[in-house]
Structure 1
Amino acid sequence: MNPAQGMAVVVCEYCGAVTTMGAAGAQLFQKHFMLDNRIQNDQALQLGGEWLNKGVFRRKVAERSELGQVTMKYVPYWIIPTSVVADFQGTRGTGAGMAVHGDTGAQKAAGAAVFALNVLAAANRAQQQRGRVTAAPAQPQVIRVRDRIQLQFNIPIVAVRGYTKFQPDDGFQFQIQNKMGFDKRKAGGLEVMSGDISEAEGKQQAAALAHKFAEKEAKKRVDTLESIQVYPTTSDGELLHAPVWFMEYAHKGKSMYILIDGHGSKVMDGERPAFALW
């Protein structure tokens, strides 16, 4: 084993043993697991295509996209058990804002489109009722909300610096109940990556993601989120080598990607156009 400078997680290319590099020197890491790959190339392409076409405002995105490179490798992730307590306050019943707010650009764009359609429908109704005497519509009642959220996650943190596209950030979790002891022979000759992010750094990143997940959950419970205080607690993690498919594609000249969990057969993360109706 010949660890390169800066490496924090080193996988022996012969036996697959994992060594962590820290202030105390090299130490053999005991909590090392893996998941087996359960899909082939054609299944990965099908999963990616279905995900691309999912949504009211996306039509035949997969069919109109140009497929690039498709790779599958075993990527190391720190699985960090994280408990979250969050106190938040906001309002419900605030009318138009309900149609527009969202967590992602796609959700906000879709919400804006729905809002525009609602405005158009209201204008049509007003034109039809012109000349009639009608009572003013009742204003929505605004309800103030103060509540506490308690959540539990096994947050995966990619252990390879610079692999930002391999970092799911929308609450994805691996099926760690199916994990098995790491054995490089079970990787089927595929690349097994080493890492350069320590467990301590992984815990810091997990705590940061916990804030995002708590805020997302709070926004489901109110129409306008006014404030939130998040208190994450991370526990000692374990190292998991997961089979990950990385698919590159281009849509209307723009390069995008899809990340697929080869064990759970589902999309982990990716990029897709918010609107693609033609």
Structure 2
Amino acid sequence: MAQAPAAPGYPPQAPGYPQAPGAPPPQQPPQHPAAYAPAGSKDLKCSSCGAPLTPQGGLTLITCDYCGTATSLGTGGWSVIQKHFMLDNRIDQQVALETGGKWLDQGILRRNVAKNAELLEATLRFVPYWIVPTSVTADIQGLKGTGQVNLGGGQSAGHTAAKIGLSILAGAAAAAAAQRGGRVQMNQPQPVRVRDRINVFYNIPVVGVRGYTKYQPDDGYTFNVQGKTAYDKKKTGGVETLDGDVAEQEANQFAQSLAQKYAEKEARKRVDTLESFVPYFQQSPGELLHAPVWFVRYNHKAKKEMFILIDGNASKVIDGERPAASLW
């Protein structure tokens, strides 16, 4: 198993949140008896198959090399993770590169980016993610109809462009009227105060390996958890499967901070000026998911090293870097 590199911690502990309401029982993997050992233990045995487990380098999330049972270190010692799933890898390296190449060339200001890129690495790994079901109910207050363009509110490019276009047309019409000696009459829009409540839900993935920050989705990407199966070491096909060092409680706190970011982005779509945003969180018990992820690293015109992260199950780009503009 690969050892997790050291890296800065996740954000500090978030405020408390109420207990999650009842939900349909999730798909369950084979159950194993809980197995505890002192926190300082260096030699453990897998509670499922009896194979030796040897924690290394501060790892607190270990998958058995023989049967795939996941064991985690908590305040009470080592214990088996009861909900451990995986997604199958469905694409090879060629398909991963094609998927990444199409993403690189998206946008009117990008042309032949993939063609001009120098491939440095294309590696498949099964990466552990804590999947944290998080609901956000938020009371919002703001102004609508102010005529302001919300550049940071998460609105679609088309919607923002339409607002900018209308402002430009209005200004041009006023200038033309002034040149003709006509009277310019500008109707100032009357803003309307909006009070609303939004309800959003996310299955937020939190990467379980500290230091793998590039593997952390931060724009709302979610894995196809409906296609998950109980973790089976044989299904990895010998591909590197990472252990981790992020505890479930820590993942829950980080997921809450991401949920707030996503919900506030949604709130800004409903008003021109967001004045107040008061969120309430509910989280259901999470689960551990080993997802197949292709990490592609490339040089753009030998100037800057960039990366693309591709979901090997859904053949979709999770995240990545690409030039803002490249036309030749």
TM-score by length of 2: 0.76
Q: 2:75 aligns with which of 14, 23, 26?
A: 23
Amino acid at match of 2:321: E
By how many angstroms is 1:7 displaced? Answer: 1.5
Match of 1:133 in 2: 182
Asked if the contact 2:126/2:240 (under 8 Å) is kept, the reply is yes
Asked if the contact 2:153/2:269 (under 8 Å) is kept, the reply is no
* Matching of residue 263 in structure 1 with residue 313 in structure 2: yes
By how many angstroms is 1:83 displaced? Answer: 1.0
Match of 1:235 in 2: 284
Amino acid at match of 1:32: H
Q: 2:248 aligns with which of 199, 202, 217?
A: 199
- The separation in 2 between residues aligned to 1:215 and 1:48, in whole angstroms, is 29
Q: Where do residues 9-88 of structure 1 align in structure 2 (5 Å cutoff)?
A: 9-88=61-140
Q: Where do residues 119-198 of structure 1 align in structure 2 (5 Å cutoff)?
A: 129=177, 130-198=179-247
- The separation in 1 between residues aligned to 2:264 and 2:326, in whole angstroms, is 29
Asked if the contact 1:101/1:223 (under 8 Å) is kept, the reply is no
Amino acid at match of 1:258: I
* Matching of residue 248 in structure 1 with residue 300 in structure 2: no
- The separation in 1 between residues aligned to 2:201 and 2:293, in whole angstroms, is 24
% identical equivalent positions: 52
What do residues 182-233 of structure 1 show as CA deviations (whole Å, max 9, x unaligned)? 1011001100111100111110111111110111111111122222112222
- The separation in 2 between residues aligned to 1:255 and 1:239, in whole angstroms, is 31
Q: Point out the more displaced range, 208-217 or 21-30.
A: 21-30
Q: Point out the more displaced range, 64-73 or 80-89.
A: 64-73
- The separation in 2 between residues aligned to 1:275 and 1:118, in whole angstroms, is 26
Asked if the contact 1:101/1:111 (under 8 Å) is kept, the reply is no
Give the alignment's Cα RMSD to 1 decimal.
2.6
* Matching of residue 208 in structure 1 with residue 257 in structure 2: yes
- The separation in 2 between residues aligned to 1:119 and 1:86, in whole angstroms, is 31
Shift in CA distance, 120/153, structure 1 to aligned 2, threshold 3 Å: closer
- The separation in 2 between residues aligned to 1:126 and 1:47, in whole angstroms, is 47
Match of 1:217 in 2: 266
* Matching of residue 275 in structure 1 with residue 320 in structure 2: no
Amino acid at match of 1:262: G
- The separation in 1 between residues aligned to 2:88 and 2:287, in whole angstroms, is 17
Amino acid at match of 1:274: A
What do residues 21-41 of structure 1 show as CA deviations (whole Å, max 9, x unaligned)? 122222122211100011111
By how many angstroms is 1:173 displaced? Answer: 1.0
TM-score by length of 1: 0.88
- Of structures 1 and 2, the one scoring higher in RCO (CA 8 A, sep 6+) is 1
Amino acid at match of 2:135: S
DSSP 3-state at the match of 1:264: coil
By how many angstroms is 1:127 displaced? Answer: 6.0
By how many angstroms is 1:177 displaced? Answer: 0.8
Higher strand share: 1
Shift in CA distance, 124/250, structure 1 to aligned 2, threshold 3 Å: farther
Q: Point out the more displaced range, 173-182 or 245-254.
A: 245-254
What do residues 164-187 of structure 1 show as CA deviations (whole Å, max 9, x unaligned)? 100001111111111101101100
- The separation in 1 between residues aligned to 2:280 and 2:124, in whole angstroms, is 36
Higher helix share: 1
Unpaired runs of 5+ residues, structure 1, are: none
Asked if the contact 1:206/1:234 (under 8 Å) is kept, the reply is no
Tell me how many residue pairs correspond in the alignment: 273
By how many angstroms is 1:237 displaced? Answer: 0.8
Asked if the contact 2:134/2:203 (under 8 Å) is kept, the reply is yes
By how many angstroms is 1:61 displaced? Answer: 2.6
Unpaired runs of 5+ residues, structure 2, are: 1-52
Amino acid at match of 1:6: G
- The separation in 2 between residues aligned to 1:144 and 1:57, in whole angstroms, is 38
